Amino acid sequence: MTTMKRPTIAVLGLGWMGAALADALIREGHDVVVWNRSAAKSEPFEGRARRPATVLDAVRQSDVVMVCVRDYDASDEMLHTPDVSAALAGRTLVQFSSGTPQRAREAGHWAQESGVDYLDCTMSAGPQQVGTDQGTFHYTGPRGLFDSLSELLTPLVGTSEYCGEEWGYAAALDFARLGTFTGVLTVLGTVFALMRSEGVSIDDFLPTVPFLSPEFMKGVVAATTADHYPSGTATLTTWEAWADQFVVAGREAGVDPRVAEVIRESLSRSIRQGHGAEDIYAIFSAFASAAGPGE
Ligand SMILES: NC(=O)c1ccc[n+]([C@@H]2O[C@H](COP(=O)([O-])OP(=O)(O)OC[C@H]3O[C@@H](n4cnc5c(N)ncnc54)[C@H](OP(=O)(O)O)[C@@H]3O)[C@@H](O)[C@H]2O)c1
């Protein structure tokens, strides 16, 4: 009886999420190849994974390539060179970087034309949830490909959900989720500033918003009294890159982008105030002054 060789997996991009994916794959006993633009982030993988110097070598050494970088522009910069595209042909590519539904569709069509087996993934999870029984990853692409990779993908997160063959679906679902989350935080930043100005207490406010879960509001209230917001997940800079795409996704869908623009501007303002490496709740610093946004 022949045993099937387990695939070698390349992880390109070793930020918060890429490093968590690579760690989870190594824990599962996979032969892993890692690459990051700035080499320092691949150093912790010394002795645990192969560390080729170039993207091309990483692709050539692997069967499945997982990409987890800032956005699709960064991903295209790495993958859409003649050499790397040629090396990807006949291999499997799983895209974990965030992008608009339109970019996911373009990537799907590029993969089809280039002979690359392609899945697009959105991650409804933070790095601490990767490799645990928590969080959800949503995938789009060919059903047969998703099923054939289930042994590889299932241990990466609590739930691996297949969303169909419409390339942009998971990305659109993720914008709905994160747009709601950041939109609620932006409105709360505004109303908390108003409440501060008018002397309204949080304790009086909370019972008036039963549609916001007590668990969610507990985190929010704690964040409003913090003066710094250490990040163990996505930084405000990553959220700003996501918000850029949220604005574009709205425009591409013919939706009024103004709400997305306000969310993005609130994130950008907090970053200009020096909170770029901090957690999403640092968005409240954009509303610190009751008098107005300011700088
Ligand atoms: N963190 C989360 O909780 C979370 C959750 C869901 C989805 N995501 C998504 O996952 C993706 C990665 O997020 P992250 O939190 O891991 O970000 P991160 O910690 O800021 O890491 C960003 C990664 O992108 C790389 N990169 C940026 N521009 C590049 C370029 N032009 N060429 C090559 N590499 C480039 C960086 O390389 P350098 O080290 O060289 O800068 C780094 O490896 C993003 O699309 C994000 O929206 C994140």
* The domain boundary residue, chosen from 166, 201, 229: 166
Quick one: 198 and 101 in the same domain?
no
Neighbours of 40 (CB within 10 A): 8
Rounded CA-CA distance 65/12 in Å is 7
pTM higher than 0.85, yes or no? Answer: yes
Q: What is the CATH number of the domain that holds 177?
A: 1.10.1040.10
Of 100, 117, 236, 120, the C-alpha closest to 167 is 120
Closest ligand 1 atom to 97 CA: 45
Residue 107 corresponds to which tokens in the numbers above? Answer: 């990537």
Residue 292 lies in a domain: no
Q: With respect to residue 155, please indicate whether it lies within any of the assigned structural domains.
A: yes
Residue 15 CA to ligand 1 center (angstroms) comes to 5
Residues 252 and 161 grouped into a single domain:
no
- Gap between the Cα atoms of 81 and 151, Å rounded: 30
Q: Is residue 3 part of a domain?
A: no
Domain's final residue, options 143, 166, 189: 166
Same domain, 121 and 197: no
- Does 149 share its domain with 181? no
Torsion of CA 204, 209, 214, 219, to 10 degrees: -80
Q: What residue numbers bound the domain in which 97 lies?
A: 9-166
C-alpha 125 to ligand 1 mean position (Å): 14
**End-of-domain residue from the set 120, 142, 166:** 166
Residue of 21, 36, 55, 70 best suited for mutating to test ligand 1, as the one with most atoms within 8 Å of CB: 70
Residue nearest to atom 5 of ligand 1 (CA): 126
The pLDDT tens digits along the chain (295 residues) read 445 578 999 999 999 999 999 999 999 999 999 999 999 999 999 999 999 999 999 999 999 999 999 999 999 999 999 999 999 999 999 999 999 999 999 999 999 999 999 999 999 999 999 999 999 999 999 999 999 999 999 999 999 999 999 999 999 999 999 999 999 999 999 999 999 999 999 999 999 999 999 999 998 998 887 778 888 889 999 999 999 999 999 999 999 999 999 999 999 999 999 999 999 999 998 887 644 444 4
Residues 155 and 175 in one domain: no
Helices (H), the chain: 16-27, 55-60, 72-79, 82-88, 101-114, 143-148, 150-153, 169-198, 202-205, 214-224, 236-252, 258-270
Return the residue whose CA atom lies nearest to atom 6 of ligand 1: 123
Quick check: CB of 277 below 6 Å from ligand 1? no
Same domain, 161 and 189: no
The answer to the question of residue 275 being in a domain is yes
**Ligand 1 probe mutation, 11, 14, 17, 23, most atoms within 8 A of CB:** 17
Cβ of 37 less than 6 Å from ligand 1: yes
Residue 34 near residue 22 (C-beta atoms within 8 A): yes
Residue 192 shares a structural domain with residue 49: no
Give CA torsion, residues 45, 61, 56, 128, to 10 deg.
Answer: -40
Whether residues 196 and 106 fall in one domain = no
Of ligand 1's atoms, which has the minimum distance to the CA of residue 99? 45
Judge whether 144 lies within some domain: yes
For a ligand 1 pocket test, name from 23, 77, 238 the mutation site with the most ligand atoms within 8 angstroms of its C-beta.
Answer: 238
Do 130 and 203 have their domain in common? no
Identify whether residues 43 and 113 lie together within a single domain. yes
Q: Report how many domains make up the chain.
A: 2
**CATH assignment at residue 80:** 3.40.50.720
Q: State whether 142 and 248 are in the same domain.
A: no
Atom of ligand 1 nearest to the CA of 18: 16
Q: Are residues 136 and 51 in the same domain?
A: yes
Whether 243 is covered by a domain: the verdict is yes
